[in-house]
């Protein structure tokens, strides 16, 4: 009789169903076969590795038979099969010291319970994660943790996303048996953006291992021993000397390490999480924007082993307030009869079309911002060609040096402090100006044709920019003093308010999603310019970001074959020949 086998893993991580095999058995297979890409979880430098040949073993976890690559830990095997083993000290990007003792499981035939985070699978193993001995041990460990853990949940920033809350609720005792007063350690400032509440610490040492193994700056350590052990810094050497210290807050499983910036700002359950891309350098780190009341409250790393692993730099995570600025353009503005007039979109675009028709073919000079998406920049490029051709330039700030995360190859705060320089260059835009992102616009200022500005508020330029131009069009998110008398001012959304893509320094194209609502009637630049271009050539413009990217992919050879489906949640490499550091 044919039986049904479930296979988890393999190419692209898809789940497939295979019919066949021995009668009456259900087998789950985790990992890939020969030559396929498998993910190694654990160790200081977690990356995808390609194995020539994967040796596999078969074991049983909680009555479910699994086939996994040799070397997989019991914890990883259980997670792959959908069984969550509680743990604290284990993190997929760090080494596993097996010191929290919460992931102990029963292996039939073993003389004692074994830590699932370090015990590797063996052929024929029978593992019980929910046996009486295993659950009794976890309940005892949780009670031990709570002996000195304060009842800070109502005021703790970690409340609502705390592993200790979840584990105690699921398996802990209903009432504690402690009668003695709890130990009080108080709060310590570790420097930088990090505060330490020693009372809440469960001594998992994730923070210590991150500093030692990943950043390779041992600025944290465990002092004292036994019940007096506590995490501390070395005298006057605090985390202000670190460029990646915010990650210790991310990986802390309880509320012992918290962010000063986020302290008492919002409750975890009030925040909406949106997948996005860090806009603060060309690395293209995958992040989540955490928002409430249409404001960004913090940025957190989102795992992508091909780009940033589990980490982001402090430079990137701390620069989000510009997304909350209130000096926004909210309605289309047309300069007529020596004054600005607010108009609706239809009337404003029709007025612009009439002006363009009157001018006919004209030389165009455009300046764009590499903080805007490929779809937006592609729309500008298409409009410039339609109007008669010209040049497109961009300005962007540069840092003096890169800040690499030593223990994770390929991850750094890059010199280019904008997310889409590579995308702009692939579309034919040229970088001008200095490393402060200023200057370089002398040709535009004196141009007597059409001047088009996207995203760059020209803060370094005087008022009345491009006085000789026959037409000045500004599409921006913020009010510009240099362009206050532009012929047309159109409010457009930032990357946080729209769907789109950025191309990082290696040529990888990555998607982001809208986390905020744009102000007033602001719309994505690709939608505004697409509607205008469609009216000029008597064609229908794109109505979705996916359609707008399709037009870019047709125009840029490096993007051919890419669409939103192939880019997916973790991005896809383009055909661009971009130098990769270390090659």
From the number of C-beta atoms within 10 Å of its C-beta (0-12, 13-18, 19+), residue 101 rates as: middle
Three-state DSSP class for 580?
coil
Mean pLDDT of the chain: 89
CB half-sphere exposure, 466, CA atoms < 13 A? 26
Greatest mean pLDDT among 17-31, 51-65, 141-155, 365-379 lies in 365-379
The per-residue pLDDT for range 311-345, each reduced to its tens digit, is 999 999 999 999 999 999 999 999 988 889 999 99
Q: What pLDDT score does 582 carry?
A: 40
Percent of the chain with pLDDT over 70: 90
Query: Is the pTM for the entire model greater than 0.85?
Result: yes
Q: Where in the chain do CATH 3.30.70.20 domains reside?
A: 147-270
Q: Does domain 333-544 have CATH number 3.40.50.740?
A: yes
Q: What would the DSSP string read from start to end of 525-552?
A: HHHHHHHHHHHHHTSPPP-SHHHHHHHH
The whole-number average pLDDT for the span 165-188 is 90
- Whether residue 188 contacts residue 195, with contact meaning beta carbons closer than 8 Å, is answered with yes
DSSP 385-451: HHHT-EEEEE--BB-SS-EE-TTSTT-EE-SB-STTHHHHHHTT-EE-S-TBS----HHHHT-SSEE
Query: Where do you find CATH 3.10.20.740 in the chain?
Result: 4-141
Average pLDDT on 175-185 reads 88
Q: CB neighbours (10 Å) of residue 17?
A: 8
Contact (CB, 8 A) for 41 and 59: no
Determine phi and psi for 288, rounding to 5 degrees. Answer: -120, 135
Please, are residues 536 and 356 in contact by the beta-carbon 8 Å criterion? Answer: yes
The yes or no reply on domain 4-141 and CATH 3.10.20.740 is: yes
295 forms beta bridges with: 292
Q: Is the pLDDT of residue 39 over 70?
A: no
pLDDT of residue 195: 97
What pLDDT does 338 receive?
A: 83
For β-strands 48-50 and 56-61, DSSP reports them as unpaired
Please say if the pLDDT value at position 10 is more than 60: no
Pick the CATH number of 147-270 from 3.90.1150.10, 2.60.40.10, 3.30.70.20, 3.90.550.10: 3.30.70.20
Of 209, 202, 253, give the one whose Cα is nearest residue 229.
202
- Answer yes or no: are the C-beta atoms of 526 and 548 closer than 8 Å: yes
In whole angstroms, what is the distance from residue 295 CA to residue 577 CA?
Answer: 38
Residues 216, 219, 222, 223: is their CA dihedral positive or negative? positive
Nearest Cα residue to 22 out of 42, 47, 3: 3
Q: How far is CA 281 from the centre of its chain?
A: 12
How confident is the model at residue 178, as a pLDDT?
85
As a three-state string, the secondary structure of 467-514 is CCCCEEEEEECECCCCCCCCCEEEEECCHHHCCEEEECCCCEEEEECC
């Amino acid at each position: 009789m044919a039986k049904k086998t479930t296979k988890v893993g393999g190419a692209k991580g898809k789940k497939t169903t295979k019919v066949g095999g021995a009668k009456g058995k259900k087998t789950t297979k985790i990992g890939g076969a020969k030559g396929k890409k498998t993910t190694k979880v654990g160790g200081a430098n977690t990356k995808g590795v390609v194995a020539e040949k994967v040796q596999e073993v078969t074991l049983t976890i909680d009555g479910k038979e699994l086939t996994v690559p040799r070397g997989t830990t019991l914890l990883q095997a259980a997670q792959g099969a959908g069984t969550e083993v509680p743990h604290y000290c284990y993190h997929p990007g760090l080494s596993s010291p097996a010191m929290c003792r919460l992931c102990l499981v029963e292996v039939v035939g073993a003389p004692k319970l074994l830590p699932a985070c370090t015990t590797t699978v063996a052929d024929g193993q029978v593992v019980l994660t929910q046996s009486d001995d295993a659950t009794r041990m976890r309940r005892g460990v949780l009670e031990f943790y709570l002996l000195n853990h304060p009842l800070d949940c109502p005021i703790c920033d970690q409340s609502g996303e705390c592993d200790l809350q979840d584990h105690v609720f699921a398996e802990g005792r209903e009432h504690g048996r402690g009668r003695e007063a709890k130990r009080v350690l108080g709060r310590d400032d570790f420097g930088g953006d990090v505060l330490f509440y020693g009372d809440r610490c469960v001594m998992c040492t994730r923070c210590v291992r991150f500093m030692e193994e990943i950043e390779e700056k041992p600025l944290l350590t465990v002092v004292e021993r036994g019940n007096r052990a506590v995490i501390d810094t070395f005298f006057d050497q605090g985390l202000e000397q670190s460029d990646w210290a915010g990650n210790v807050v991310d990986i802390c499983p309880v509320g012992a390490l918290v962010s000063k910036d986020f302290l008492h700002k919002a409750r975890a359950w009030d925040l909406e999480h949106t997948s996005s891309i860090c806009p603060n350098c060309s690395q293209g780190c995958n992040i989540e924007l955490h928002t409430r009341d249409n404001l960004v409250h913090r940025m957190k790393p989102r795992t992508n082993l091909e780009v940033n692993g589990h980490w982001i730099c402090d430079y990137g995570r701390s620069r989000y307030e510009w997304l909350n600025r209130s000096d926004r353009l909210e309605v289309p503005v047309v300069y007529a009869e020596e004054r600005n007039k607010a108009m609706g979109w239809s009337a404003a675009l029709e007025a612009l079309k009439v002006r363009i028709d009157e001018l006919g073919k004209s030389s165009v000079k455009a300046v764009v911002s590499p903080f805007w998406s490929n779809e937006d920049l592609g729309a500008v490029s298409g409009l410039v060609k339609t109007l008669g051709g010209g040049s497109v330039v961009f300005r962007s700030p540069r840092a003096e040096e890169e800040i690499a995360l030593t223990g994770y190859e390929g991850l750094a705060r890059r010199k280019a402090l904008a997310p889409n320089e590579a995308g702009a260059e692939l579309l034919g835009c040229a970088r001008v100006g200095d490393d402060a992102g200023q200057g370089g616009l002398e040709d535009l200022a004196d141009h007597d044709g059409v001047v088009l500005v996207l995203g760059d508020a020209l803060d370094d330029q005087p008022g009345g920019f491009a006085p000789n131009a026959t037409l000045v069009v500004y599409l921006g998110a913020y009010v510009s003093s240099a362009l206050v008398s532009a012929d047309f001012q159109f409010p457009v959304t930032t990357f946080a308010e729209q769907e789109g893509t950025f191309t990082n320094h290696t040529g990888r194209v990555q998607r982001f999603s809208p986390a905020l609502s744009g102000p007033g009637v602001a719309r994505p630049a690709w939608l505004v310019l697409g509607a205008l271009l469609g009216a000029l050539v008597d064609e229908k413009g794109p109505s979705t970001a996916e359609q707008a990217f399709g037009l870019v992919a047709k125009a840029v050879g490096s993007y051919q074959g890419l669409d939103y489906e192939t880019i997916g949640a973790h991005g896809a490499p383009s055909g661009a020949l971009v130098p990769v550091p270390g090659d």
